[in-house]
Chain A
């Protein structure tokens, strides 16, 4: 929504550059992670996910990296475009095996793409 970006860390990049958005997660037992994109006035949109038995996963123009040692997740966006401007947040699933599939969401980073 329009107010989601308030008080959020902001990453400002030039169009065409690569973007790296970081997320520190809280639970070392988390086994599944998701990155979402939220544009103003819209609901969160799934971008990419990764399981804890992987270190890296690639999608179209996006790559997610998982470092379980330091509980860190990153989203890399190649050749950032103006349409990538949005709030990005990560989610972790601390419930091993997904019996409840509850997710814990980060507060997000605002990506601002400068033309």
Chain B
């Protein structure tokens, strides 16, 4: 969905490096999410945020941190990357309540940690 963009689309890094993945949205949604996707597994929630002042851990937050710089921007950081963080990372957004509860995803970032 072009309304949700992620940068970079692909990244190769080395163990121990700090990296940041960025997400921007033009949907005007308040809620933003970071997920990772591994082969054979469903999407797993890393962190989520319901507004600029709100940050919540998901089911697999260890080793990750996030920053909600503005309503439209939500970044994910790996402070010291390790090989088992090799995965596809997706950002998603949703509106509050009503029919807007659907989460809309960005195109993903493919991360390889050597």
| Chain B associates with chain A | yes
Interface residues on chain B, number (Cβ under 8 Å)? 27
Query: Does B102 contact A44, Cβ atoms closer than 8 Å?
Result: no
User: What is the total of A-B residue contacts with beta carbons within 8 Å?
Assistant: 63
The answer for the CA separation of A35 and B97 in the assembled complex, in Å, is: 18
Of residues 28 through 72 on chain A, the ones whose CB sits less than 8 Å from some CB of chain B are: 32, 34, 36, 42-46, 49
Given contacts A98-B97, A102-B48, contact A4 B105 (CB under 8 A): no
Whether B40 lies near A43 (C-beta < 8 A) is: no
The answer to whether B42 and A43 have CB atoms under 8 Å apart is: no
Q: Which of B86-102 contact A (CB under 8 A)?
A: 88, 90, 94, 97, 101-102
Query: Contact partner of B37 among A1, A102, A103, CB < 8 A?
Result: A1
- Tell me the B residues contacting A by CB distance below 8 Å: 1, 4, 31, 37, 39-45, 48, 56, 58, 88, 90, 94, 97, 101-108, 110
Q: What 17 new A-B contacts, CB under 8 Å, besides A45-B1, A93-B101?
A: A3-B39, A6-B39, A7-B39, A34-B103, A43-B1, A43-B90, A43-B106, A45-B105, A46-B102, A46-B104, A103-B43, A103-B103, A105-B44, A106-B42, A107-B40, A107-B41, A107-B42
